[in-house]
Amino acid sequence: MTATHMRQLALPFARTPDYRADDFIAAASNAEARAWLARAESWPDGRLALVGAAGCGKTHLLTLWAGPGEVAAGPFLRGLPVFSGPRLALDDADSCADEAALLHLLNHARESGVRLLLAGRTPPARWRVALPDLASRLRAVTTVMIGAAEDDLLAALLARLFAERQLRVSAAVQDFLLARLPRTPAALREAAARLDRRALALGGRITRALAAEVAAEIAED
């Protein structure tokens, strides 16, 4: 089989995250969030909003807190989600298009004593909603922020991303990437995905030259 034919066979298979407790990287930037999640019984009105940038670990924390079957997606929220436990999490809640469904969920959770965890990139008080009752309830939700990732967290995350993809990348190349990529978890995840696809297509290892190419692309994006 020729190298050209191998490149044509390289397919970007989707990866399903496995949100395990051992895989979450604890750091000072997410310490306050972890502390709030550990004392759900003290949340005002039984609600909490977890706020942070893309890729900061919100979905991971939501899944660990509520359980895989108790996490709903805001963009697909229609009516009342089916849940069986005393906890429910709504990911990407700030992208919920059905305001009536979100208001119904907030009301039902309070009336039934279900602890409700919302996640978004901005605080609920800043979400643009038209329903006055929903806006009022969102302003009352206690909010906890996940801060900017520290150097140690970013380094550990990049190493883990490569390990999950079974990619052998030297420490020197990883340091090279960390110095040139935007300092966000989302940028590291994108870099790992692109390098995985590129290395598979080329049939070679991840070199500094390839890392520089991908880092430049992401910085430009």
pLDDT over threshold 50, residue 89: yes
Considering Cα of 153, then 192, then 12, then 75, what sign does the dihedral take?
Answer: positive
Q: For the residues 28-52, what does the mean pLDDT come to?
A: 96
The Cα 131–Cα 179 span in angstroms is 45
Helix boundaries (H) for the chain: 3-9, 31-37, 58-66, 99-112, 132-139, 151-164, 171-180, 185-202, 208-220
Q: For the residues 43-72, what does the mean pLDDT come to?
A: 93
Scored b (16 or more CB within 10 A) or e, 118-127 reads bbbeebbeeb
All domains in the chain, ordered by first residue:
28-145 (3.40.50.300), 149-220 (1.10.8)
Q: What pLDDT shows up at residue 10?
A: 35
Q: What pLDDT shows up at residue 9?
A: 35
Given a contact cutoff of 8 angstroms between Cβ atoms, the answer to whether 136 and 107 are in contact is: no
Q: What is the pLDDT of residues 131-183, one digit of tens each?
A: 999 999 999 999 999 999 999 999 999 999 999 999 999 999 999 999 999 99
pLDDT over threshold 80, residue 16: no
Q: Which residue has the higher pLDDT, 60 or 84?
A: 60
User: What's this model's pTM, rounded to 2 decimal places?
Assistant: 0.82
pLDDT-derived band at 17, boundaries 50, 70, 90 = low
